[in-house]
Amino acid sequence: MKIAVLAGGYSYERDVSLTSASLIAGALCRKGHKVALVDVYKGVEADDLGALFTDKVPEPYKVPETEPDLDLLKKEYGCGDALVGKNIVELCRLADIVYIGLHGGMGENGQLQAFLDCYGIKYTGTGYLGAALAMNKEISKDLFKGAGIPAPEGRTYNRKNLDTEEIEREIGFPCVIKPCSNGSSVGVSIVKNREEMIKGIEDAFRLEDRVIVEKKIVGREMTVAVLLGKPLPPVEIIPRAGFYDYKNKYQDGMTEEFCPPENLGDEDAKKLGETAVRAAKALHIGRNTYCRVDMFLTPDGPVVLEVNALPGMTPISLLPREARAAGIDYDTLCDMIAHSALEK
């Protein structure tokens, strides 16, 4: 197939995307596809767009320790507020499918999916509705509650209705503060007192105007990917220091991950898998696609934190690790996801 792999984008997770997408492109090339790897925000300058499709494996991109400076990015590329760069639509229409290698922002909130739908372009991953629901943690929690899926107790605030006394009284410490619609733990903090809470809320408000404050769940941190409607083996996540934040997620050696988890009974593993499938279904993420569900395993069972509609595909990402445990190597995983787009 001819496959356009969309990367980067205008998002705090663009560096994660550039890494994932470069590896995805390499895997697809090794599987015999012709691939065009492009930054959807930057766009492309080419007289012959068809010549961009190649079987040459690109160099992998390494995620820096800190989030990107989006203001600097906008000045550097000169694209302004346009989220889709020059010739991106034309390139995508030349491809058999588009492999969405974005994370966060328009790639994960449904905008890009809806945009491609308008042009009749087939793409990997969930449709615009599933992406939009998964990205908005406030709506996700309401849907989990409606489906009888346990999720952390909490409240959503904007600057006008922020009530720190209510947070102390109703939620208490420690608690988790996070932007409503970001991923990769950007802007997330775990706070133990009022001073830390004020700082955490302000940090989150710098990224978004809606912030979620939740009770901190105590348990084993787990994640389960759902691939083509079936759960993959769970992974247990144990950061060496702090919690599973941006740095611990994307820098080598910062986190221990066990797949399968040690001392995890068959019944608990089954509950995790079933809960992951239910969570994906609650957010209208289709069976012919993929996602990853983050949870805590407590004595009362799994508690769902969120669903990642476009999980990372970096060398240390969790979906590829789970796939390996199920006997699916990285190149085959990418190929399976690509072919699933043809079946939509």
Model-level pTM? 0.88
The CATH number of the domain where 278 resides is what?
3.30.470.20
User: What is the C-alpha to C-alpha distance for residues 255 and 139, in angstroms, rounded to an integer?
Assistant: 29
My answer on whether 140 and 283 are in the same domain is yes
Q: What is the dihedral of CA 114, 318, 344, 120, to 10 degrees?
A: 30
Sheet strands side by side (includes 34-39): 34-39, 2-7, 97-100
My answer on whether 293 and 162 are in the same domain is no
Give a yes or no: residue 158 inside a domain. yes
My answer on whether 142 and 258 are in the same domain is yes
DSSP 75: H
User: What is the C-alpha to C-alpha distance for residues 106 and 165, in angstroms, rounded to an integer?
Assistant: 35
Range of the domain at 252: 134-149+218-332
Task: Give the domain-ending residue among 187, 215, 243.
Answer: 215
My answer on whether 210 and 317 are in the same domain is no
Domains in the chain, number: 3
Q: Residue 249's pLDDT is what?
A: 47
Closest CA to 57 of 295, 246, 330: 330
Give a yes or no: residue 340 inside a domain. no
Q: Residue 242's pLDDT is what?
A: 54
Give a yes or no: residue 55 inside a domain. yes
Give a yes or no: residue 343 inside a domain. no
My answer on whether 138 and 264 are in the same domain is yes
User: What is the C-alpha to C-alpha distance for residues 101 and 39, in angstroms, rounded to an integer?
Assistant: 10
My answer on whether 65 and 88 are in the same domain is yes
Give a yes or no: residue 344 inside a domain. no
Per the CB < 8 A criterion, the answer to whether 306 and 140 are in contact is yes
Give a yes or no: residue 128 inside a domain. no
Give a yes or no: residue 42 inside a domain. yes
My answer on whether 41 and 86 are in the same domain is yes
Provide the 3-class DSSP secondary structure of residue 274: helix
My answer on whether 252 and 162 are in the same domain is no
My answer on whether 63 and 203 are in the same domain is no
Tens-level pLDDT at each residue, the chain (344 residues): 999 999 999 988 899 899 999 999 999 999 999 999 999 999 999 999 999 999 999 998 888 878 888 899 898 888 888 999 999 999 999 999 999 999 888 999 999 999 999 999 999 999 999 999 999 999 999 999 999 999 999 999 999 999 999 999 999 999 999 999 875 467 799 999 999 999 999 999 998 999 999 999 999 999 999 999 999 999 999 977 555 444 444 455 567 899 999 999 999 999 999 999 999 999 999 888 999 999 999 999 999 999 999 998 877 789 999 999 999 999 999 999 999 999 87
My answer on whether 165 and 113 are in the same domain is no
Per the CB < 8 A criterion, the answer to whether 122 and 96 are in contact is yes
The CATH number of the domain where 88 resides is what?
3.40.50.20
My answer on whether 138 and 270 are in the same domain is yes
Closest CA to 139 of 125, 164, 156, 126: 156
Q: Where are the alpha helices (DSSP H) in 206-296?
A: 246-250, 266-282
The CATH number of the domain where 196 resides is what?
3.30.1490.20
Q: Residue 254's pLDDT is what?
A: 62
Tallying the residues shown for the chain, one arrives at 344
My answer on whether 98 and 185 are in the same domain is no
Q: Residue 247's pLDDT is what?
A: 47
Give a yes or no: residue 292 inside a domain. yes
